[in-house]
Chains A and B, each alone.
Chain A
Amino acid sequence: MPRVTYIQADGQSQEVNLEAGSSLMQGAVDNMIDGIVAECGGSCSCATCHCYIDADWIDKVEPAEEMETDLLDCVSEPKDNSRLSCQVKVSDALDGLVVHLPTTQF
């Protein structure tokens, strides 16, 4: 099971094990990690599961599709490493992944 670390904007971090194939959003919801709202349940509709992929990992994550990049343009504080966590599937190749959470999803 890939291990993922979620780091809050205030620096608090939580390390959790996720099922390979599940999304970073589902992993956060399942482990009650604050800061991921995920209103639409993963259908790439609401942009309330915004996160930043750690710089060391950004190249290892599959790139975003157009719907996602369009939504990312509109989130508060978008960065080059912004992603919607519902669209990032974890795999064994992402074991050790570090994800940073924004200050707000709205």
Chain B
Amino acid sequence: MAANSRCIIIGASHAAAQLAPTLRQQGWTGSISMISNEYALPYHRPPLSKDYLAGTKTAEQILIRPAAVYKKCDVGITMGVTVAAIDRPNKQVMLEDGLALDYDKLVLTTGARVRKIDIPGVELNGVFYLRDLNDAQQIKMFTGANKRAVIIGGGYIGLETASALRKIGMQVTVLEAMPRILQRVTAPEVAAFYARIHKEEGVEIIADVQAVSISGDKQVESVQCHNGTEYQADLVIIGVGVIPNTELAEQAGLKVDNGIVVDEYARTSDDDILAAGDCTFHYNPIYQRHLRLESVQNALDQASVAANTICGNLKPYSALPWFWSDQYDLKLQIAGLSQGYTDVIVRGDIDGSRSFAAFYMREGKLLAVDAVNRPQEFMFGKRLIMQGNQLDPAQLADDSLSLKTLLTS
């Protein structure tokens, strides 16, 4: 690599914040430019629905790295600029304002955006989606003790938001279209646990109900459902999933399939264009299938792989996905992916306490663990998944037995 080589990173995301300094650590001597359509240095997104929303952390406290680090690494960051297109034959990035930037290596860390719903009234003041710092900042102008919030969508974002809003004394109702909350991501037992906790914390959860319209005179006042019920609201937050930002890649003719397709070295179908994080569709050797993940772990690990690839150091990406969700005094840690499970084994009192672990099994092997206030089950669970041994359900359920004893050394 030459000192005049140019690396452009599109999207000032979690992956970008990992990628740029790693490039320097790996010896990239050329220029590094980050282009972002937001107006902030890369920040931690998870606190937006947790500590930031509840007011216990400021925007500055959720920055991934301080400005000084980018300066020290000589990383140029252009904010508030949207990339219009990638011109692969000329190896240029075309900006919305007409400017063209040359690249030698291009990395797409474009992330994902919220899935929108199309019902009357979504444009009203006080109706929000939650993905960016800007969304969270605006939401905060509508929060306040004893005000009423309606959350559309009972996934992790919706439930974390409910928890944060309860913390500041709001009255919260969660509307879920599926028969239960967390339908896509957890077993019924775990969903029932969260439904109980939210009820104990004063949140009203209504499942099997579809929001069909939002009403108000300029400002939101209520949400109407398909069955004729209506909920008063000073604030509405919609959290119904995300879709990957693949348009730039698609328009440039790169392979896209439920995300930007990358190989184990984070390369797209063009060797000089790489991608990392939520926007990618990649092969996971542990689960032996292609995945698109929405997680910090994936953004960090894949970005490190991409930086290494750019510097000529080919290290294949292979990591066990993991996730976390903080709600009230509950710390949920999720190891692995549960899709395709046939049995769930529970350790601990899931019906009465605030601590348990759920093991997702298939053919006697552990696929994934949901651990609530159980860091050991999470940590050892990760290793048990990686080891891939046959496990005895009775031992997994036995709370007196440390999971450590089930590991083969």
- List chain A positions with a Cβ less than 8 A from chain B: 29-30, 32, 34, 37, 39-41, 43-47, 67, 70-71, 73-75
The 9 closest A-B CB pairs, nearest first, are A74-B379, A70-B375, A45-B324, A71-B375, A41-B44, A32-B21, A39-B297, A70-B376, A74-B376
Determine the chain B residues whose CB is within 8 A of the CB of A71 once the complex forms: 375-376, 379
Q: Is the CB of A29 within 8 A of B331?
A: no
Instruction: Assess whether B64 is interfacial by the CB under 8 Å rule.
Output: yes
Report B293 CB to chain A, min CB distance, Å: 13
Q: Is the CB of B379 within 8 A of A39?
A: no
Determine the chain A residues whose CB is within 8 A of the CB of B326 once the complex forms: 43, 45
Q: Is the CB of A40 within 8 A of B21?
A: no
CA distance A96 to B65 in the complex (A): 23
Q: Which of A32, A39, A41, A73 contacts B376 (CB 8 A)?
A: A73
CA distance A71 to B65 in the complex (A): 25
Determine the chain B residues whose CB is within 8 A of the CB of A70 once the complex forms: 375-376
Q: Is the CB of A32 within 8 A of B25?
A: yes
**Centre residue among B64, B73, B297, B375 by max chain A CB count within 10 A:** B375
13 examples of A-B residue contacts, CB within 8 angstroms: A29-B65, A32-B72, A37-B300, A39-B296, A41-B46, A41-B296, A43-B324, A67-B331, A67-B373, A73-B376, A74-B375, A74-B376, A74-B379
Secondary structure call for the B interface: helix
Instruction: Assess whether B283 is interfacial by the CB under 8 Å rule.
Output: no
CA distance A87 to B229 in the complex (A): 46
Known: A39-B296, A39-B297, A41-B296. A74 touches B65 (CB 8 A): no
Report B405 CB to chain A, min CB distance, Å: 13
* A32: nearest chain-B partner, CB-CB: B21
Q: Is the CB of A40 within 8 A of B324?
A: yes
Contact with A along B72-95 (1 / 0, CB 8 A): 110000000000000000000000
Q: Is the CB of B300 within 8 A of A39?
A: yes
Q: Is the CB of A45 within 8 A of B379?
A: no
Instruction: Assess whether B68 is interfacial by the CB under 8 Å rule.
Output: yes
Q: Is the CB of B65 within 8 A of A30?
A: yes
Determine the chain B residues whose CB is within 8 A of the CB of A43 once the complex forms: 46, 324, 326
* A71: nearest chain-B partner, CB-CB: B375
Q: Is the CB of B300 within 8 A of A30?
A: no
Determine the chain A residues whose CB is within 8 A of the CB of B379 once the complex forms: 47, 71, 73-75
Instruction: Assess whether B66 is interfacial by the CB under 8 Å rule.
Output: yes
Q: Is the CB of A45 within 8 A of B331?
A: yes
* B44: nearest chain-A partner, CB-CB: A41
Instruction: Assess whether B380 is interfacial by the CB under 8 Å rule.
Output: yes
CA distance A47 to B46 in the complex (A): 17
CA distance A70 to B372 in the complex (A): 13
Report A33 CB to chain B, min CB distance, Å: 10
Q: Is the CB of A45 within 8 A of B333?
A: yes
CA distance A37 to B64 in the complex (A): 12
Report B119 CB to chain A, min CB distance, Å: 34
CA distance A71 to B404 in the complex (A): 13
Instruction: Assess whether B28 is interfacial by the CB under 8 Å rule.
Output: no
* B17: nearest chain-A partner, CB-CB: A29
Instruction: Assess whether B322 is interfacial by the CB under 8 Å rule.
Output: yes
Contact with A along B293-323 (1 / 0, CB 8 A): 0001100100000000000000000000010
* A69: nearest chain-B partner, CB-CB: B375
Instruction: Assess whether B286 is interfacial by the CB under 8 Å rule.
Output: no
Determine the chain B residues whose CB is within 8 A of the CB of A34 once the complex forms: 25
Report B249 CB to chain A, min CB distance, Å: 26
Report A21 CB to chain B, min CB distance, Å: 10
Q: Is the CB of A67 within 8 A of B375?
A: yes
CA distance A73 to B332 in the complex (A): 18
Instruction: Assess whether B69 is interfacial by the CB under 8 Å rule.
Output: yes
CA distance A42 to B46 in the complex (A): 11
CA distance A75 to B69 in the complex (A): 29
* A75: nearest chain-B partner, CB-CB: B379
Q: Is the CB of A46 within 8 A of B380?
A: no
